[in-house]
């Protein structure tokens, strides 16, 4: 297991290195230059420290290589609203043909995406979409459905009178808020016997989740389940209880379907996740931006699927990651 996990983290680190400026002096990663007659597209990534965001940035670059008339530049928002907004403004000033934004905080980025539209540049928001911006398109997943498939499974899996902890994404983030709503409606409202003994915003971040989980196991001698709005936070919480006999049967739920989560499910450590495929998101983003740039479509709002992954089907997804070189064969 340790050997395989190292290969996953190395893959993420390679993406992180790219996003911090390997390949150009201005802190971007570029696909191969497709020539003066092609389209220039800027992708503003949320953060390199988020394993899913790093995976998506890598897949966006791979997907762009399939288009002879698109050059993609990737910028790192560093999980900082000011830095992400500055990157958007710089892309507008640089007169890109299209700008795809992965928001750190949708409401903080909303006025800047509105500036993209006002400048006459093709605008797409992705992972998570920002609703209600006239003239902007979106490529996303349904975050309510992503959490609901886990919550519905947990109805039968979580024991009676269980004590659970909850790890949330950033407040105001569409995916974070909708996933928490799903857990409330699909699980907590139907299981009033379950007690939440700890709940915090960990901002999709593993290290923050570790800190909260360390506090929770000190103040609670019983925690039956970790309910997390993404895999990265769930993995952090699981690191804290690893090898502790009193938590050997703890359940854990996430969203994203990262390579690390696949290995945790395969090992029997994590219970389930919902795949938010960066591969599918990237392909759909490039397909969408190409249709908008060529005038084939004027407005596109579309979602990828939300399949549940557990011990019964995890082998298929481990193979997917092995085939893409993100898990060592």
Which range marks the domain in which residue 91 is found? 2-140+279-303
Instruction: Say yes or no: 117 and 152 in one domain.
Output: no
User: What are φ and ψ of residue 300, in 5° steps?
Assistant: -140, 130
Instruction: Say yes or no: 86 and 121 in one domain.
Output: yes
Instruction: Say yes or no: 293 and 212 in one domain.
Output: no
Domain boundary residue among 233, 257, 274?
Answer: 274
Q: What is the four-CA torsion angle of 109, 123, 169, 315, rounded to 10 degrees?
A: -160
Instruction: Say yes or no: 8 and 132 in one domain.
Output: yes
State pTM to two decimals.
0.79
Tell me the per-residue pLDDT of 224-278, one tens digit each, with 9 for 90 and over.
999 999 999 999 999 999 999 999 999 999 999 999 999 999 999 999 999 999 9
Tell me the per-residue pLDDT of 100-150, one tens digit each, with 9 for 90 and over.
999 998 899 999 999 999 999 999 999 989 999 999 999 999 999 999 999
CB atoms within 10 A of CB 247: 18
Say which CATH number the domain at 16 has: 3.40.50.2300
Instruction: Say yes or no: 165 and 63 in one domain.
Output: no
Please count the structural domains in the chain.
2
User: What are φ and ψ of residue 278, in 5° steps?
Assistant: -65, -30
* Of the listed ranges 19-23, 178-182, 280-284, 317-321, the one predicted with least confidence: 19-23
Instruction: Say yes or no: 215 and 245 in one domain.
Output: yes
Residue 74's closest CA among 20, 9, 146?
20
pLDDT of residue 28: 64
Phi-psi region of 198 (alpha: psi -120 to 50; beta: other; left: phi over 0): beta
pLDDT of residue 35: 53
Asked if residues 15 and 58 have their Cβ atoms less than 8 Å apart, the reply is yes
Domain contains 267: yes
Domain contains 326: no
Domain contains 59: yes
Q: Which residue has the tokens 């960990």?
A: 202
Instruction: Say yes or no: 135 and 16 in one domain.
Output: yes
DSSP 160-227: TT-EEEEEE--TT-HHHHHHHHHHIIIIITT-TT-EEEEEEE-TT-HHHHHHHHHHHHHH-S---EEE
């Amino acid at each position: 297991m340790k050997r395989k996990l190292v290969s996953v983290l190395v893959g993420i680190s390679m993406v992180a290195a790219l996003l911090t400026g390997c390949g150009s002096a201005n802190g971007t990663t570029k696909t191969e230059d497709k020539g003066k007659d092609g389209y220039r597209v800027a992708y503003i990534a949320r953060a390199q420290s988020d394993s899913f965001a790093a995976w998506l940035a890598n897949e966006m670059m791979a997907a762009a290589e399939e288009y002879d008339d698109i050059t993609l530049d990737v910028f790192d928002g560093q999980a900082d609203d000011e830095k992400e907004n500055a990157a958007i403004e710089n892309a507008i000033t640089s007169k890109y043909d299209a700008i795809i934004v992965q928001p750190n905080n949708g409401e903080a980025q909303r006025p800047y995406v509105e500036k993209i539209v006002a400048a006459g540049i093709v605008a797409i928001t992705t992972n998570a979409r920002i609703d209600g911006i006239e003239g902007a398109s979106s490529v996303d997943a349904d975050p309510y459905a992503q959490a609901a498939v886990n919550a519905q499974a947990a109805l039968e899996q979580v024991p009676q009178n269980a004590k659970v902890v909850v790890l949330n994404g950033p407040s105001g983030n569409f995916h974070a808020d909708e996933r928490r709503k799903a857990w409330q409606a699909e699980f907590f409202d139907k299981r009033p016997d379950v007690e939440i003994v700890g709940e915090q915003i960990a901002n999709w971040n593993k290290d923050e989740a570790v800190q909260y989980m360390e506090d929770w196991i000190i103040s609670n001698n019983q925690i039956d389940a970790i309910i997390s709005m993404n895999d990265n936070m769930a993995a952090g919480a699981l690191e804290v209880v690893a090898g502790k006999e009193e938590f050997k049967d703890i359940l854990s739920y996430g969203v994203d379907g990262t390579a690390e989560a696949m290995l945790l499910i395969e090992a029997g450590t994590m219970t389930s996740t919902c795949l938010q495929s960066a591969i599918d998101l990237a392909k759909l983003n490039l397909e969408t931006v190409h249709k908008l740039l060529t005038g084939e479509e004027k407005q596109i709002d579309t979602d990828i699927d939300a399949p549940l992954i557990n011990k019964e089907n995890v082998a298929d997804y481990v193979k997917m990651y092995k085939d893409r070189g993100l898990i060592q064969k």
